């Protein structure tokens, strides 16, 4: 019977721990969503229209969609200018000087947008890191406080146990 009680207590403690862990995970997830939502709102308030446009251009320029479209345009450009039956319409025959000019222009045009976007993202990441540090520091302080309280309670329990043992050894009644 004692074994069943211990097993039940173990099961109950495990269940409570799992329940607490799920609750804590849910709280952390909700808190993270609120912090990210706040950061997004702050970002939208602080950034100008041109900055958001630069972010969208940089986002598109670094996507697979852009790579696919751009590769398709390059292939069509070169094939069109190489095919013999489109000779009368060729506008950039090999060595594709106009294509090189377009590629250089695109790279020179995209680079500032990408750099502006990266600078803003770095500033945003720094703010998020500062917030994470503050949260972690506060949590560490709370853990330290809790540990100090536990040590104090252990110390008091040891003193009570010592007093009880002294009373028991002296033969005095506890109550």
- What's the pLDDT band for 15 if we cut at 50, 70, 90? low
User: 58 near 111, Cβ under 8 Å?
Assistant: no
- What's the pLDDT band for 20 if we cut at 50, 70, 90? confident
- Tell me if 35 is assigned to some domain: yes
- Tell me if 54 is assigned to some domain: yes
- What's the pLDDT band for 79 if we cut at 50, 70, 90? very high
Asked if residue 64 and residue 53 are part of one domain, the reply reads: yes
* pLDDT score at 7: 44
pLDDT at 4 over 70: no
pLDDT at 82 over 90: yes
- Total domains in the fold of the chain: 2
Asked if residue 101 and residue 61 are part of one domain, the reply reads: yes
Asked if residue 141 and residue 72 are part of one domain, the reply reads: yes
Asked if residue 22 and residue 57 are part of one domain, the reply reads: no
> Residue 114 and residue 117: Cα distance in Å, rounded?
5
Asked if residue 93 and residue 153 are part of one domain, the reply reads: yes
* pLDDT score at 48: 86
Nearest CA among 101, 99, 121, 115 for reference residue 61: 115
Asked if residue 19 and residue 94 are part of one domain, the reply reads: no
> Residue 175 and residue 166: Cα distance in Å, rounded?
14
Asked if residue 88 and residue 143 are part of one domain, the reply reads: yes
- Tell me if 131 is assigned to some domain: yes
Asked if residue 77 and residue 8 are part of one domain, the reply reads: no
Query: Sign of dihedral through CA atoms 34, 39, 42, 43?
Result: negative
Reported pTM:
0.55
Asked if residue 59 and residue 84 are part of one domain, the reply reads: yes
pLDDT tens per residue across span 101-125: 999 999 999 999 999 989 988 988 8
- Tell me if 175 is assigned to some domain: no
Name the residue range of residue 38's domain.
1-46
* pLDDT score at 27: 81
* pLDDT score at 105: 95
């Amino acid at each position: 019977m004692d074994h069943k009680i211990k097993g039940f207590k173990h099961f109950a403690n495990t269940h409570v721990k799992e329940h607490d862990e799920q609750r804590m995970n849910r709280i952390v997830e909700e808190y993270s969503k609120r912090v990210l939502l706040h950061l997004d709102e702050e970002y939208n308030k602080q950034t100008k229209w041109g900055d958001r446009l630069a972010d969208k251009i940089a986002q598109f320029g670094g996507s697979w969609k852009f790579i696919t479209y751009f590769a398709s345009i390059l292939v069509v450009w070169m094939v069109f200018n190489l095919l013999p039956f489109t000779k009368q319409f060729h506008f950039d025959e090999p060595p594709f000087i106009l294509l090189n000019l377009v590629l250089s222009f695109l790279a020179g045009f995209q680079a500032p947008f990408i750099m502006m976007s990266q600078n803003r993202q770095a500033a945003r990441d720094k703010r998020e890191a500062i917030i994470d540090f503050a949260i972690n520091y506060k949590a560490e302080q709370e853990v330290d406080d809790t540990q100090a309280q536990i040590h104090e309670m252990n110390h008091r329990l040891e003193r009570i146990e010592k007093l009880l043992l002294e009373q028991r050894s002296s033969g005095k009644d506890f109550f």
